[in-house]
């Protein structure tokens, strides 16, 4: 492993950072009865708007009710780091569909790092954008593939349909969706040295993961045309992509195309990326590299909130970083990477892709299945 390279799988989850302006939790470290911890935290849930919450602070044998100030969103937390709100289980209806009973998404899970500028489609969030083509500005839409906007239990969501037998966009029947999206013009990702991309995902109860499939992530490159080239076995030192993948039984990972450590084009010095060929990572000579496969598992029948952080390396230096937060907790962190090899290398937008595969029919969906995406959120956390 190259000097300065660091890969960590954070199995012991960290507490998410509090959003600016939120009230920090009260906690008495000397008390063994920390049953209730008050916090005001912004959520993507209109049902939480203007709710007056009360917290109970237990100190020895005294119980004191502490009213929290009126806020656009207020949540009452129970034992440290655990919500007292209803769980996220999804009952299965008579028609086999699932409906979430709790659609809260803390904004801190979508924006785990303080930002300079941002946007979100998180329903009920301040200044939320509509989930629409006008917001995402999609281009290079795969022919025959659709992305359907709909409502899922109060969330503005995007539905992905995977017909039986579907896998990869080049094979029929077509399943999922595939396009690129720069997002709103007023949050220009090409100015970012570091950015985050968050969203919530719902795999319905009983979802069959088979061998795996792709999920959206961040992409970039030296120019708008070259940037969309790094996927599907196409590798280049002038572009990069960092999507997510589900594997068998819902095992999760970051799936990235960054300069191959043996590449000779460009600067010709990408040896720092050899760390992506060391377990629990996997790399090969054709396709992308898997980072920390199995570091977390996707739930079924519940919303999972993901946020990916990409930090570009200083040109010529192995100091790029990739990190993934799941429900506000850092679960994968890879440092010491070469993500770009020139100053023209920029974050360009969102690679909005999901499909089963894998390049062979063994990866295909065995039945007609659906997955739902919501709360798309992007932040610039530092600038070039």
Predicted confidence (pLDDT) per residue in 326-375, tens digit: 999 999 999 999 999 999 999 999 999 999 998 899 999 999 999 999 99
Q: Tell me, rounded to whole angstroms, the distance of Cα 183 from its chain centroid.
A: 16
C-alpha distances out from residue 276 to 68, 235, 335, Å: 47, 15, 10
Q: Tell me, rounded to whole angstroms, the distance of Cα 285 from its chain centroid.
A: 26
Which residue range(s) make up the domain with 375? 6-17+91-383
Residue 61 lies in a domain: no
Instruction: Return d(Cα 92, Cα 181) in angstroms, integer.
Output: 33
Residue 341 lies in a domain: yes
Nearest Cα neighbor of 40 from 58, 63, 13, 66 is 66
Q: What CATH number is given to the structural domain containing 336?
A: 2.60.120.200
Instruction: Return d(Cα 383, Cα 66) in angstroms, integer.
Output: 41
- What pLDDT was estimated at residue 31? 33
pLDDT tens column, 182-197: 999 999 999 999 999 9
CB-neighbour burial class of residue 82 (10 A; exposed 0-12, middle 13-18, buried 19+): exposed
Average pLDDT, the chain: 79
Residue 363 lies in a domain: yes
Mean pLDDT of 148-171: 94
Nearest Cα neighbor of 212 from 358, 332, 352 is 358
**3-class state of residue 198 by DSSP:** strand
Tokens of 14: 């960290």
- What pLDDT was estimated at residue 229? 85
The model's pTM is 0.78
DSSP-based helix, strand, coil % in the chain, nearest 5 = 10, 40, 50
**Structural domains counted in the chain:** 1
- What pLDDT was estimated at residue 124? 86
Query: Does residue 84 register a pLDDT over 70?
Result: no
Query: Does residue 9 register a pLDDT over 90?
Result: no
Tokens of 208: 């069959």
How many percent of the chain have pLDDT more than 70? 74
Query: Does residue 267 register a pLDDT over 90?
Result: no
Residue 46 lies in a domain: no
**3-class state of residue 305 by DSSP:** strand
Mean pLDDT of 134-153: 95
| Torsion angle (degrees, nearest 10) of CA 102, 106, 109, 115 | 150
Residue 13 lies in a domain: yes
Query: Does residue 280 register a pLDDT over 70?
Result: yes
Residue 30 lies in a domain: no
Residue 41 lies in a domain: no
CB-neighbour burial class of residue 22 (10 A; exposed 0-12, middle 13-18, buried 19+): middle
pLDDT tens column, 203-249: 999 999 999 999 999 999 999 999 898 777 677 788 999 999 999 99
Residue 331 lies in a domain: yes
CB atoms within 10 A of CB 185: 7
> What number of CA atoms fall less than 13 Å from residue 18's CA on the CB side?
12
């Amino acid at each position: 492993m190259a000097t300065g390279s660091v890969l960590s799988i954070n199995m012991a989850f960290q507490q998410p950072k509090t959003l600016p302006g939120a009230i920090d939790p009260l906690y008495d470290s000397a008390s063994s009865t920390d049953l209730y911890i008050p916090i005001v935290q912004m959520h993507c849930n209109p049902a939480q708007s203007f709710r007056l919450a009360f917290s109970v602070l237990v100190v020895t044998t005294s119980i004191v009710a502490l009213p929290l100030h009126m806020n656009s969103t207020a949540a009452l937390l129970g034992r440290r780091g655990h919500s007292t709100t209803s769980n996220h289980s999804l009952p299965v209806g008579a028609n086999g569909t699932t409906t979430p009973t709790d659609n809260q998404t803390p904004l801190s899970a979508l924006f785990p790092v303080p930002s300079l500028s941002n946007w979100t489609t998180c329903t009920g969030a301040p200044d939320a954008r509509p989930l629409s083509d006008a917001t995402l500005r999609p281009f290079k839409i795969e022919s025959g593939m659709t992305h359907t906007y709909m409502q899922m239990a109060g969330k503005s969501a995007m539905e992905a349909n995977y017909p039986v037998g579907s896998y990869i966009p080049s094979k029929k029947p077509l399943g999922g969706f595939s396009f690129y999206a720069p997002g709103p013009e007023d949050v220009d990702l090409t100015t970012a040295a570091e950015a985050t991309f968050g969203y919530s995902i719902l795999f319905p109860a009983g979802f069959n993961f088979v061998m795996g499939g792709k999920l959206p992530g961040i992409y970039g490159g030296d120019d708008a045309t070259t940037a969309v080239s790094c996927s599907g076995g196409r590798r280049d030192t002038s572009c990069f992509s960092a999507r997510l993948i589900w594997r068998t039984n819902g095992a999760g990972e970051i799936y990235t195309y960054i300069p191959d450590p043996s590449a000779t084009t460009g600067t010709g010095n990408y040896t720092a990326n050899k760390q992506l060929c060391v377990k629990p990572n996997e790399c090969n000579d054709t396709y992308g590299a898997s980072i920390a496969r199995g570091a977390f598992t996707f739930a079924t029948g519940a919303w999972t909130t993901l946020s990916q952080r990409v930090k570009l390396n200083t040109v010529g230096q192995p100091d790029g970083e990739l990190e993934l937060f799941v429900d506000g907790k850092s679960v994968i962190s890879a440092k010491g990477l070469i993500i770009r090899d020139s100053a023209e290398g920029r974050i360009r937008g969102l690679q909005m892709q999901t499909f089963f595969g894998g390049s062979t029919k063994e990866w295909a969906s065995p039945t007609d299945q659906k997955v739902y995406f919501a709360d798309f959120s992007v932040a610039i956390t530092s600038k070039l």
